[in-house]
Amino acid sequence: MKRSEADSDLCVGSGQCVPTEPAVFDQDDDGIVALLTDHPDDQSAAQARHAVALCPSRALSIPQESSGYVVRSAPAVPRPPPTPTRPALPLPGVDRL
What residues are paired with 94 via a beta bridge? Answer: none
Is this model's pTM higher than 0.85 or not? no
Q: Tens of pLDDT along 16-26?
A: 999 999 999 99
pLDDT band at residue 43 under the 50/70/90 scheme: confident
Q: Under DSSP, is residue 49 helix (H, G, I), strand (E, B) or coil?
A: helix
> Does a structural domain hold residue 96?
no
> Does a structural domain hold residue 89?
no
pLDDT band at residue 69 under the 50/70/90 scheme: very low
> Does a structural domain hold residue 12?
yes
> Does a structural domain hold residue 90?
no
Residue 85 has pLDDT above 70, yes or no: yes
Q: What is the CATH number of the domain that holds 26?
A: 3.30.70.20
Residue 70 has pLDDT above 80, yes or no: no
> Does a structural domain hold residue 92?
no
The domain of 18 spans 5-72
Please report which residue ranges of the chain form alpha helices under DSSP H: 17-20, 42-54
Q: Please answer whether residues 8 and 32 qualify as being in contact, where contact means their C-beta atoms are separated by less than 8 angstroms.
A: yes
Question: At 32, which helix (H) or strand (E)?
Answer: none
Indicate the number of domains in the chain: 1
> Does a structural domain hold residue 27?
yes
Cα distance between residue 85 and residue 97, in whole Å:
21
